[in-house]
Amino acid sequence: MRILLTRASVAMGDDATAPNAAERTLPDAATLTELAALVATAYVPRMGGACWVLSLGYGAPAGPPLALLAEPWERPRLLPAAQRLGPLAALADRDGELRTYCDYRWRESPEQVWRELTGRTP
In the chain (122 residues long), the average pLDDT of successive 10-residue segments reads 92 71 93 94 83 95 94 91 84 92 90 92 73
Q: What pLDDT does residue 50 have? A: 81
Q: Which domain, by its residues, includes 89? A: 2-118
Number of structural domains found in the chain: 1
Amino acid sitting at position 58: Y
Q: What pLDDT does residue 122 have? A: 67
Alpha carbons 71 and 46: distance in angstroms, whole number: 7
Q: What pLDDT does residue 106 have? A: 83
